[in-house]
């Protein structure tokens, strides 16, 4: 039953990526702080789907500063590499549930509701798959549609949009508004079409952001995990 309820949030591939994380694997743990995030290396212990994950955090004196940051509900980002023929960086956001000192230093976190991956080798590149709402002044009556961001950087992105009779294929120079949403939070980036590649079911657009890089970075920090 636990896996069934979780399937509403995570795909089968997401679950497999999480299960491929073996106990004892060293992962990168990014801890939210009032200033800049702090990144440390910790060992993964195990998980209970869909309730929690467990990591080992040393209790030695030099780790006290990090342990002081691991307060209940503080945000964390976990990253690790899946080795194999193509290699994948896996990342997900979670939060602190409990920190134990005895009988061992154990960090218990919430279970993620979103997992991201990206390929390390050119033979295969995993795609973020960020769902966005799209609008454009070029389209009459301001009709909105949806799309999937399949590649993204501070400069621009590649957008896949389902073929839609209410949307013409946009020409180079056309302006788009991309609305990113996580929960109740929504952020908008403005982009210009640089190229388009129509296929049978989708039109792929190469977009360049009109926003400055600082604004784009702020949005990516909220809506993507792999950096």
**One domain, residues 69 and 172:** no
Higher-pLDDT residue of 151 and 5 is 151
Domain boundary among 119, 145, 166: 119
In a domain, 124, yes or no: no
d(CA 182, CA 75): 15
Task: Please check the confidence at residue 21 and state whether its pLDDT lies above 60.
Answer: yes
Q: Taking the model in full, what pTM does it have?
A: 0.56
In a domain, 183, yes or no: yes
**One domain, residues 107 and 203:** no
pLDDT, tens digit (0-9, with 9 covering 90-100), for 70-85 = 999 999 999 887 765 4
Which CATH number does the domain housing residue 98 bear?
Answer: 2.30.110.10
pLDDT, tens digit (0-9, with 9 covering 90-100), for 36-62 = 788 898 999 999 999 999 999 999 988
Domain that holds residue 144: 130-223
Total structural domains in the chain?
A: 2
Q: What is the pLDDT at residue 56?
A: 95
């Amino acid at each position: 039953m636990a896996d069934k309820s979780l399937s509403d949030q995570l795909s089968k591939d997401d679950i497999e990526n999480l299960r491929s994380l073996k106990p004892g694997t060293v992962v990168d743990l990014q801890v939210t702080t009032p200033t800049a995030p702090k990144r440390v290396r910790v060992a993964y212990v195990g998980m209970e789907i869909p309730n929690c994950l467990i990591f080992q955090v040393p209790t030695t004196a030099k780790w006290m500063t990090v342990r002081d940051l691991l307060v209940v509900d503080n945000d964390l980002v976990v990253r690790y590499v899946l080795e194999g023929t193509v290699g994948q960086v896996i990342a997900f956001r979670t939060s602190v549930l409990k920190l134990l000192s005895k009988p061992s230093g154990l960090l218990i976190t919430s279970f993620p509701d979103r997992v991201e991956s990206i390929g390390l080798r050119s033979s295969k590149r995993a795609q973020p798959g960020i769902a966005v709402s799209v609008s454009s002044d070029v389209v009459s009556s301001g009709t909105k549609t949806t799309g999937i961001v399949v590649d993204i950087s501070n400069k621009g992105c590649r957008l896949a949009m389902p073929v839609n009779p209410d949307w013409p294929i946009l020409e180079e120079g056309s302006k788009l508004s991309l609305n990113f949403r996580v929960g109740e939070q929504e952020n908008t980036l403005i982009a210009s079409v640089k190229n388009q590649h129509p296929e049978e079911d989708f039109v792929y657009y190469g977009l360049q952001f009109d926003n400055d890089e600082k604004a784009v970075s702020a949005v990516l920090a909220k809506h993507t995990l792999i950096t």
